[in-house]
Amino acid sequence: MTYVEGFLVAVPTANKEIYREHASDAWPIFAECGAKRIVESWGHDIPDGEVVDLKRAVQANGDETVLFSWFEFSSREARDDHNTKIMAHPGMDHIDPLPFDGSRMVMGGFQSILDTGRAGESGCVEGFVLAVPRAKKADYLAMAQKAAGAFLNAGANRVVETWEDDVPDGKKTDFHRAVKTTADEAVVFAWVEWPSVELRESVLPTLMADECMQYDPSTLPFDRQRAICGTFVTILDKGA
């Protein structure tokens, strides 16, 4: 199944096009080193949370926008080989400096546990990060499979759920701090690909009324207060 390198990034809003060009220019090198796909999605609707949210996850300030992004690989081994090759690739010396504060970038490796629908160029990404007790992995997957059917029936292109595999601690930010994991919890990095923001917003009332989306909060296999989410507009999708 797909292996994912997931990212959360705070980018100065004024640098949106510079960031897109930076990622686009670097993509041929990433692909040469083994990446199958890159998706960069720009924050469209990032709600504030009572306990955690995407803005706090990357310590975003008022002049920055949060991105939800990822690389796709055929395996963990392919991801590791890619990262080794990238560090030594001479082409990276000619890529412009990062147009954002890399010290606040959140990143980690995840193994997919659910990948359904059709990967392709999507105009909108609905992104999620949450903490799930490791003992409830099967319960979470069952819930996710049920919800995936509702998303696809509503017009989504693809639903992907990935489970923590290689998620390092960071000096300023990281996935564990983003959702305040406990020792017995794993980070889930998940997303839904939609054709457009407009479609996603138009079907939202019907989607939320679907019986597959109805849950008893007391039986959820994770703490909803520590789940973070947002809607994003895709600004780069290569390799699909």
Write down the domain spans for the chain. 3-238
In sign, the C-alpha dihedral spanning 209, 212, 215, 221 is negative
The segments of the chain whose pLDDT lies below 50 read none
Round to the nearest angstrom and report the end-to-end CA distance of the chain.
Answer: 15
pLDDT tens, position by position, 78-128 = 999 999 999 999 988 777 788 999 999 999 999 999 999 998 778 999 999
pLDDT attached to residue 156: 97
Cβ neighbors of 191 (< 8 A, separation 6 or more) are 68, 70, 125, 126, 127, 128, 159, 160
Query: What are 216's two structure tokens?
Result: 């008893």
Number of neighbouring beta carbons within 10 Å of residue 165: 16
pLDDT at 94: 72
- Other beta carbons less than 10 A from residue 88's beta carbon: 8
User: How many Cβ atoms from other residues are within 10 Å of residue 207's Cβ?
Assistant: 18
Q: What pLDDT is attached to residue 17?
A: 97
Tokens 């407009």 locate to: 198
pLDDT at 240: 72
Distances (CA, A) of 205 to 159, 166, 201, 209: 19, 36, 8, 6
**Chain centre distance of CA 78:** 19
Contacts of 178 (CB under 8 A, 6+ apart): 8, 52, 54, 56, 57, 106, 129, 187, 228
From the options 3.10.20.30, 3.30.70.100, 3.40.50.720, 3.40.640.10, give the CATH code of 3-238.
3.30.70.100
DSSP assignment of 172-203:
S--HHHHTT--TTEEEEEEEEEES-HHHHHHH
Asked whether 227 and 35 are in contact (CB, 8 A), the reply is no
